[in-house]
Structures are given as structure tokens and as C-alpha cells.
Amino acid sequence: MPALSRRHFVALASAGSAVAASGLILPRRALAAAPFLQPPLPFADNALAPVISAQTIQFHYGKHHAGYFTQLNQLVANTPWATATLEEIIVKSAGGEDPRIFNNAAQAANHSFYWDGLKPGGGQPSGVLAEAIERDFGDFAKFKDGFVSHAVGLFGSGWAWLIEDGGKLAFFDAGNAGTPLAHGKRPLAVVDVWEHAYYLDYQNRRADHVRAVVDQLINWDVVRDRLSA
């Protein structure tokens, strides 16, 4: 197992702290071995409206995200993957001969990480996160502009990530199901830029959607906790 994988596990586990606190299914348990269970949302379907409508949540969480769990559980049943954690599957299947395993495992985890990092109102960075943003980007406004530009500039379907790499914050491009976990990098925040994430609410206006997510929905307390984990 790669040396970084404990830190990655901690990152994924802490990503679910809001869910754990709510007393529902623990992501640590849900993602520990097949069959993997889709963690519940840490907010109501309509809590992120109007940026992300209840209708988008119902399709995105209820159909797209749920579908990745269904596919993954079918693919790993009765295979050596059946006893691996979700993170082990992501790291070990990346670049493998059957891309379906990686794609469904990564999409299952990416979406859980995404939902756990959102909350109505978003908030402001604090503590070690505020210090790191000031150190690496100058101020929060410049940082947000950089994050939005990065996400808007990603061609096609994928994920715009904020990562911690070598002690610094950085943006990380990942097309399709891509995740920094598969590259030995530590994820801190993510914006889903697949069209299914915004098309019902923003149609082709990706930039407006990303701006609204970064300004109004990213849970900076969760990002701080991921950084300090």
C-alpha cells in the first residue's frame, strides 16, 4: 500500500464527519468493503437551492451517484476486489485493464467527497486553511477566482480539485472520473463540472454555476478539517 494511503483514508473518513455527526451511516463503514453503501446526504434535497435545485439533487445523488454504487458492487462481487476498501480499489485499479472498476469506484467516492464538502451558505475559511490560502494565494478573493478559472477551464466532463501537495495548496485537473487519490495527492475540495451537475439549473452556463458553488456552497470548515487531519 502506498505510504500516503493512510492520509488518504483519513481524508475520506474526515470528509464524512458531517454525516457521522448526524448519526446516520458512517462513511468509514459504508466504504470499508463491498457491498459499498451510498452515504446519505448531509443536507436536505432542497437545502442548496437555488444554486443546486432539489431536482438536480434527485437526479445527481439519486440516479447518477447511486448508479455508480450499483455498478461497482456488481463489478467487484466475487472478485479479489470484494474485500478491498473503496480507496484501495481506486488506488490499485487506476490505469488497470478494466476501466469500469476504477471509473465506478472513483465516481462513487468523488461524489461522496463532493456532497460532504457542501453546505447552504458555505462560509469563510478559518484556522490552518485561512493561513494556507493567504500564504499560497494572497487572499481569499484571489484564491476563489483561481479556483473558478481552473474549473471553468477544464475541458469536457470532470472534477476541479483543490489539493495539498508538498505542503502547499494547489489546483488539480481531473477529467471524467479522475481523482488526486490515484496520483498520490491529497484532496481537500472539489467542484463537479460534469454537465449533469448543473444543466437543469444553469444549462450551458458552467462559469456561473461554478462561481455560485465556490461563493455560496463550499463548506470551508470541512475543507479546513481535511487539511488539518
For Mn ion, give the closer residue by CB, 20 or 193. 193
Contact range with Mn ion by CB under 5 A, out of 51-59, 70-78, 163-171, 196-204 = 196-204
For Mn ion, give the closer residue by CB, 33 or 66. 66
- One of 88, 116, 192, 225 touching Mn ion (CB under 5 A): 192
Contact range with Mn ion by CB under 5 A, out of 88-96, 129-137, 184-192, 213-221 = 184-192
- Establish if 194 lies at the interface with Mn ion (CB under 5 A): yes
Count CB neighbours of 78 within 10 A.
7
Contact range with Mn ion by CB under 5 A, out of 51-59, 68-76, 122-130, 186-194 = 186-194
Residues 6+ apart with CB under 8 A from 44: none
For Mn ion, give the closer residue by CB, 143 or 194. 194
Is residue 162 a contact partner of residue 188, using CB atoms and an 8 Å limit? yes
Site residues for Mn ion per CB under 5 A = 192, 194, 197
